[in-house]
Amino acid sequence: MADWIYAVILGLVEGLTEFIPVSSTGHLLLTKSLLGLPDGFWDTFSVMIQLGAILAVVVLYFQRLWSVFLRLPSDPQARWFAASVVIAVIPSAIVGFALHDLIKNVLFESAPLICVSLILGGVVLIVVDRWSPRPRENDAMALSFWRTVGIGLFQCLSIVPGVSRSGATIVGGALIGIDRRAATEFSFFMAIPTMVGAFALDFWENRDVLTADNLGVIAVGFVVSFVAAVLVVKTMLGFIARFGLTPYGWWRIAVGLIGLGVLQFAGS
């Protein structure tokens, strides 16, 4: 199969799963394993195309983000929103940088761990969807300091592949009294510096792997990821408001169980 077809498949997986609480990293790693793609370039490819999904948030929220930027010198609320995003990403940035080699070379190589994380995370989503504290804050651009810190700490759980960055932040936000819609929206904003940082680090460490021959493949995955992510971001807030987190929980459980079954079959 041509590399560009693999790029389209992985781009779709990334774009469709980056912002929903099902773990885009877990789905990408399982898909890569299912397709029999080797490590090295395809691992770097999976990180590179995440920037396409992040660009979808920038495009769809451009007016609000640009308005905040223009009001930074004069508006305390705009300055606090910008500061809250920075505060929220600091814990995961520290953990991710400190444990980068462990995460990429050990955790990302464990397909059973990914499947188990998907299943356990699915159970958590279903439980939290039914029993969570009454929300006390519902504005993603005006969260209190301690809830900002709390949602940032929850994002650290996503260093384990299969946990889901968006899942950790949405569930964490719900548990500490943030409305699910607001927590989801804030996770979009947190994704921008988080994933740009991960992209920059991986790009620098793997710059020798990137050549003129494979830049076209990355471009295909980038564009597909962007288009798919636009569709997801435009519909996700309404979907969660209507159906909650439970459908995502059952999806995670199903994918995790299927993954474990495939691994058992392949190993027997």
pLDDT beyond 50 at 168? yes
Alpha-carbon distance of 187 to 199, in angstroms, equals 17
Q: What is the predicted pLDDT for the residue at 26? A: 85
pLDDT digits over 25-75, tens only?
Answer: 889 888 888 888 887 778 778 888 888 998 999 999 999 999 999 999 999
pLDDT beyond 50 at 97? yes
Q: What is the predicted pLDDT for the residue at 268? A: 46
Q: What is the predicted pLDDT for the residue at 82? A: 94
Q: What tokens were used for 248? A: 């995502």
Q: What is the predicted pLDDT for the residue at 148? A: 95
Could you please report the per-residue DSSP string of 39-72?
TTHHHHHHHHTHHHHHHHHHHHTHHHHHHHHHHT
Alpha-carbon distance of 189 to 207, in angstroms, equals 27
Lowest mean pLDDT among 99-113, 123-137, 147-161, 220-234: 99-113
Q: Answer whether 50's CB lies under 8 Å from 195's CB.
A: yes
- For the chain, what are the domain ranges? 3-267
Cα dihedral sign, 165-157-193-129: positive
